Amino acid sequence: LALSTVSNALSGKNYVGDATRLKVQDTAVRLGYRPSAVARALRMQRSFAIGVLANDIANPAFPAFVRGIEDVALRENSTLLLCNTDGLIDRQIAQMRTLHDRRVDGMVLISQFSGEPEIRELLGGGMPFVLLQRRSDIFDDDYVGADNAAGMTAAIQHLVDHGHRRIGFIRGPAESSTAMERLAVFRESVPAFGLDADPDLVFPGDYSTESGGAALRRFMALRRPPTAIMASNDLNALGVFDAAAEQGRSIPEDLSVIGFDDIPIASLARIALTTVHLPKRDMGAAAAELLMTRIKGEAPAVRRVIAPTRLVIRNSTGPASAGRNGGRPRQRKPNEREAT
């Protein structure tokens, strides 16, 4: 039996007789034969692997994104190579290099980056890639993000409806385009909703819980503390929760808090965080879908997709005037409510 016939039989090509095919397939399983993906990759110049780069694999929002990517990767017979950068630019470059060396077919970047020359070079070399959740100044050909403007506006509106005018805003890291978009919307909201225009009410944070705690302490040390805090993401909001507890401040009685992302923990009864929901799985899938068309060399129908967001109202927000009642837990609402 010839080598090429075996190859054809196994890969389901049509140039082979049914009898031969069956015999080949049979002996293949009998011998436990499995074709080498690495030899195939070398020959085909295609690895059927796609790299996924995130700056924090421990972020509770991450798994949902991956899930979406995985959904379409599976359909396309591709494997995921998950890498995390720890937010370190050097690690990011190293990881991207590794991914490149392994000749992944493309990559999904959930990790921010600016115009580092190494990255420019890596991405400029024809490697298909799509940006998820973070956009870059230089490369944003293919981008999947969320409607931050709508989400932020809904959140601010919600606070304003509850009588808040003095709102502390924690902005995310400057490298994150998403964070910057939200900041821009917040700044527009100040005049639009008649909020207090105190520059002390914008705290430069990152996406961590620690940063949320620091923000709360800073805000509360102000002569006139805010009555509500808009966090840069849910982790951040959790940090606010913790620091508030340390100071004996009750949420939402003394202080309202809104997050961003809607990570699984947010819906726990103990947390009940009002937050802006992102369709993370859908976003991941959209990103992967985009990447796949790129890999196949087709021109994608759309190159930027902005996923809808929605405000999920739980129990971390309340009326601004409630600050006087001494922190007695109010009645838990039976169900979550939603707002657009």
Residues in contact with a second copy by CB under 8 A are 32, 34-39, 41-42, 47, 49, 57-58, 60, 63-64, 66-67, 70, 79-84, 97-98, 100-103, 121, 125, 238, 241-242, 245-246, 264-265, 268-271, 329, 332
Residue 19 binds what, of a second copy, DNA, none (CB under 5 to 8 Å, by partner type)?
DNA
Q: What is the distance between the alpha carbons of residues 42 and 47, in angstroms, rounded to a whole number?
A: 8
Closest CB 312 distance from a second copy, rounded Å = 16
Q: Does 58 bind DNA (CB under 7 A)?
A: no
Question: Which stretch, 41-49, 118-126, 135-143, 150-158, contacts DNA (CB under 7 A)?
Answer: 41-49
Residue with tokens 């601010």: 156
Stretch that binds DNA, among 40-48, 118-126, 198-206, 257-265 (CB under 7 A): 40-48
Q: Is 331 in the site for DNA (CB under 7 A)?
A: no
What distance in Å separates the CA atoms of residue 278 and residue 316, rounded to the nearest whole number?
18
Report which residue type is found at 67: R
Size of the site for DNA (CB under 7 A): 25
Q: Which does 27 bind (CB under 5 to 8 A by kind): a second copy, DNA, none?
A: none
Residue 65's nearest CA partner among 311, 339, 314, 307 is: 307
Residue 332 contact partner, candidates a second copy, DNA, none, CB within 5 to 8 A by sort of partner: a second copy
Asked if 2 is part of the footprint of DNA (rule: CB under 7 A), the reply reads yes
From the list 238, 157, 248, the residue with the least C-alpha distance to 194 is 157
**43 lines the binding site for DNA (CB under 7 A):** yes
Q: Are strands 310-313 and 337-339 parallel, antiparallel or unpaired?
A: antiparallel
State the amino acid at position 94 in one-letter form. Answer: A
Query: Is the Cβ of residue 3 or residue 29 nearer to DNA in the bound state?
Result: 3
Whether residue 191 is preceded by a cis peptide bond, meaning omega within 30 degrees of 0, is: no
- The answer to whether residues 287 and 130 touch, using CB atoms and an 8 Å cutoff, is yes
Q: Which stretch binds DNA (CB under 7 A): 17-25, 144-152, 235-243, 248-256?
A: 17-25
Q: What's the N-to-C CA distance of the chain in angstroms?
A: 65
Residue 301 binds DNA (CB under 7 A) = no
Give the residues across from 310 on adjacent strands. Answer: 277
**Residue 107 touches which of DNA, a second copy, none (Cβ within 5-8 Å per kind):** none
Q: Which residues touch 224 (CB under 8 Å, ≥6 apart)? A: 166, 198
Mask 19-38, x = binds DNA (CB under 7 A)?
xx------------xxxx--
CB of 66 or CB of 305, closer to a second copy: 66
CB 52 within 8 A of CB 82: yes
Q: How far is the CB of 32 from DNA (least distance, A)?
A: 11
* Partner whose footprint covers residue 304, from DNA, a second copy, none (CB < 5 to 8 Å by kind): none
Counting contacts by CB under 7 A, is residue 77 touching DNA? no
Kindly state whether residue 14 participates in binding DNA, applying the rule CB under 7 A: yes
* β-strand pairing of 167-171 with 202-204: parallel
As beta bridge partners, residue 29 has none
Upper half-sphere CA count for residue 5 (Cβ side, 13 Å): 11
Q: Show contacts of 46-49: CB within 8 Å, 24+ apart.
A: 46/105, 47/102, 47/103, 47/104, 47/105, 48/76, 48/77, 48/78, 48/79, 48/105, 49/78, 49/79, 49/80, 49/81, 49/102, 49/104, 49/105
CA distance 311 to 202: 21
Which DSSP helix (H) or strand (E) runs through 248?
none
Is position 15 an interface residue for DNA (rule: CB under 7 A)?
yes
Over the window 239 to 258, marking each residue x when it contacts DNA by CB under 7 A and - when it does not, the resulting string is: --------------------
From the list a second copy, DNA, none, partner contacted by residue 71 (C-beta under 5 to 8 A by kind): none
Q: Does 269 help bind DNA (rule: CB under 7 A)?
A: no
Kindly list the residues in this chain that would bind DNA in the complex (CB under 7 A): 1-5, 7-8, 10-11, 14-17, 19-20, 33-36, 39-40, 42-45
